[in-house]
């Protein structure tokens, strides 16, 4: 009989051992941060484990998002999952996924998202069997520039920037909400209050920037450093929220923000940066393409829960 229960810091060693055994990568730091964040914000995370005869044989971890990547729905993102090799093929993963989906629905979640490499047929088969389909989002990524390389492009060079780009400050929230409302058509003050709290007070690995022209805030970019989501071991930055005032888009505000972000990431020795974009958001796709982003070798997957 398989029992499914919530897990947390007390299960850290077991989770790390299971994850290492099935994925081949040691991600202890990732799970330490995950369980600490879960303790501080229990409604924003779901972590459950499957136990048989007193031994944990599998687990799943997800976090809840609302507003990132342009979505207004409350969604869950499954970014860590493992089942003990000896227990695979016996329904443990399906039981975990079924319970996870029930818990997400109970919290008002509308969709469950995840990612998988195109070269992971076993994982893709599992996700297909549990109701996932290709999502409408495309995953784009690029490497962080090497500023010691004389062949780097002008895009990667900060010296040409005439736009003031600085770190986000608490007093910027009204400017950011205003810019976002012009883009999305509605005011998301509650969402940005939560983002500002996270950016300014709760994490040392978020990198959020403001662009100014003649003392006026004309753009913003919010990113975080990912140290282990979706089984990755290399450090990677994720751009999840950005906006530029329409009247200033022709003045390369977005490029200035991204150039500064990449400079900061290079200092931190972060290897790459990624984002997710709806397939028909051609303006944003064109901007990211002009900044050197290319399609990732990973597929965005989603499962409707309504």
Assign residue 149 the CATH number of its domain. 3.40.630.30
Residue 174 lies in a domain: yes
Q: Kindly state the DSSP code that residue 200 receives in the 8-state scheme.
A: I
Clarify whether residues 157 and 93 are in a common domain: no
Residues belonging to the chain: 306
**Token code pair at residue 190:** 């509650």
Clarify whether residues 71 and 177 are in a common domain: no
Report the pLDDT averaged over residues 287-297. Answer: 92
Q: Which residues of 290-301 are buried (b: 16+ CB within 10 A; e: fewer)?
A: ebbbeebebbbb
Clarify whether residues 92 and 156 are in a common domain: no
Model pLDDT for residues 234-276, shown as the tens digit of each residue: 678 889 889 999 889 888 899 999 999 998 888 888 889 999 9
Residue 117 lies in a domain: no
155 pLDDT above the threshold of 90? no
pLDDT category at 231 given cuts 50, 70, 90 is: low
| Whether this model's pTM surpasses 0.85 | no
Beta-strand relationship, 137-143 and 164-167: unpaired
Residue 43 lies in a domain: yes
Domain boundary among 109, 125, 154: 109
Q: Which domain holds residue 59?
A: 2-109
Q: Which residues pair with 210 in a beta bridge?
A: 166, 220
- Whether the Cβ atoms of residue 233 and residue 29 lie closer than 8 Å to each other: no
Clarify whether residues 164 and 225 are in a common domain: yes
119 pLDDT above the threshold of 70? yes
Q: Look at the chain and report how many structural domains it folds into.
A: 2
Residue listed under structure tokens 């393409």? 289
More confident residue, 26 or 111: 111
Residue 293 lies in a domain: no
Residue 31 lies in a domain: yes
Report the pLDDT averaged over residues 99-112. Answer: 94
Q: Which of 43-52, 125-134, 146-155 has the lowest mean pLDDT?
A: 146-155
- Tell me the average pLDDT of the chain: 86
224 pLDDT above the threshold of 90? no
Task: Determine the angle formed by the axes of helices 12-23 and 28-40, rounding to 10 degrees.
Answer: 140
Clarify whether residues 176 and 221 are in a common domain: yes
CA gyration radius for the chain?
20
What dihedral angle (degrees, nearest 10) is formed by the CA atoms of 247, 250, 255, 257? -20
**Token code pair at residue 235:** 């450090």
Clarify whether residues 171 and 227 are in a common domain: yes
Range from 142-146, 148-152, 232-236 that averages highest in pLDDT: 142-146
Residue 209 lies in a domain: yes
Q: Give the model's pLDDT for residue 141.
A: 94
Closest Cα partner for 142 from 281, 299, 278, 265? Answer: 265
Residue 286 lies in a domain: no
Report the pLDDT averaged over residues 202-217. Answer: 80
Clarify whether residues 84 and 158 are in a common domain: no
Clarify whether residues 151 and 93 are in a common domain: no
pLDDT category at 158 given cuts 50, 70, 90 is: very low
Name the strand (E) or helix (H) holding 17: helix 12-23
Clarify whether residues 159 and 89 are in a common domain: no
**Token code pair at residue 115:** 């990612």
- Whether the Cβ atoms of residue 243 and residue 188 lie closer than 8 Å to each other: no
Q: Give the model's pLDDT for residue 193.
A: 84
Share above pLDDT 90 across residues of the chain, in percent, rounded to a whole number: 48
108 by Cβ neighbours in 10 Å (0-12 / 13-18 / 19+) ranks as: exposed
Closest Cα partner for 8 from 53, 52, 46, 43? Answer: 46
Q: Give the model's pLDDT for residue 172.
A: 93
Q: Give the model's pLDDT for residue 184.
A: 84
Domain boundary among 84, 109, 134: 109
Closest Cα partner for 100 from 116, 88, 113? Answer: 113
Range from 19-23, 74-78, 130-134, 237-241 that averages highest in pLDDT: 130-134
302 pLDDT above the threshold of 80? yes
Report the pLDDT averaged over residues 81-100. Answer: 93
CA distances (Å), origin 38, targets 41, 149, 302: 5, 41, 23
Clarify whether residues 151 and 266 are in a common domain: yes
Residue 211 CA, distance from chain mean position: 23
Residue 295 lies in a domain: no
Closest Cα partner for 254 from 215, 296, 285, 278? Answer: 285
- Whether the Cβ atoms of residue 244 and residue 254 lie closer than 8 Å to each other: yes
């Amino acid at each position: 009989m398989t029992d499914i229960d919530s897990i947390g810091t007390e299960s850290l060693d077991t989770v790390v051992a299971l994850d290492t055994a099935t994925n081949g990568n040691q991600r202890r730091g990732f799970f330490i941060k995950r369980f600490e964040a879960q303790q501080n914000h229990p409604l924003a995370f779901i972590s459950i484990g499957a136990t048989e005869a007193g031994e944990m044989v599998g687990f799943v971890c997800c976090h809840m998002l609302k507003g990132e990547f342009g979505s207004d729905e409350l969604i869950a993102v499954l970014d860590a999952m493992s089942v003990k090799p000896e227990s695979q093929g016996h329904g443990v993963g399906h039981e975990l996924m079924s319970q996870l989906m029930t818990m997400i629905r109970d919290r008002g979640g509308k969709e469950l998202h995840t990612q998988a490499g195109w070269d992971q047929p076993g994982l893709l088969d599992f996700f297909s069997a549990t109701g996932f389909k290709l999502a409408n989002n495309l995953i784009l990524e690029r490497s962080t520039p090497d500023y010691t390389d004389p062949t780097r492009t002008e895009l990667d060079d900060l010296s040409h920037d005439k736009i003031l780009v600085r770190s986000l400050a608490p007093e910027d929230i009204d400017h950011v909400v205003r810019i976002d409302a012009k883009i999305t058509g509605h005011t998301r003050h509650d969402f940005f209050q939560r983002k500002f709290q996270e950016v300014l007070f709760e994490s040392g690995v978020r990198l959020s920037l403001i662009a100014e022209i003649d003392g006026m805030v004309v753009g913003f970019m919010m990113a975080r450093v990912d140290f282990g989501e979706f089984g990755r071991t290399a450090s990677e930055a994720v751009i999840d929220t950005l906006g530029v005032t329409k009247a200033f888009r022709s003045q390369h505000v977005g490029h200035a923000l991204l150039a500064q972000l990449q400079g900061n990431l290079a200092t931190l020795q972060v290897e790459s940066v990624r984002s997710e974009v709806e397939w028909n958001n051609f303006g944003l796709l064109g901007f990211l393409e002009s900044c050197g982003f290319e399609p990732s070798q990973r597929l965005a997957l989603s499962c409707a829960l309504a």
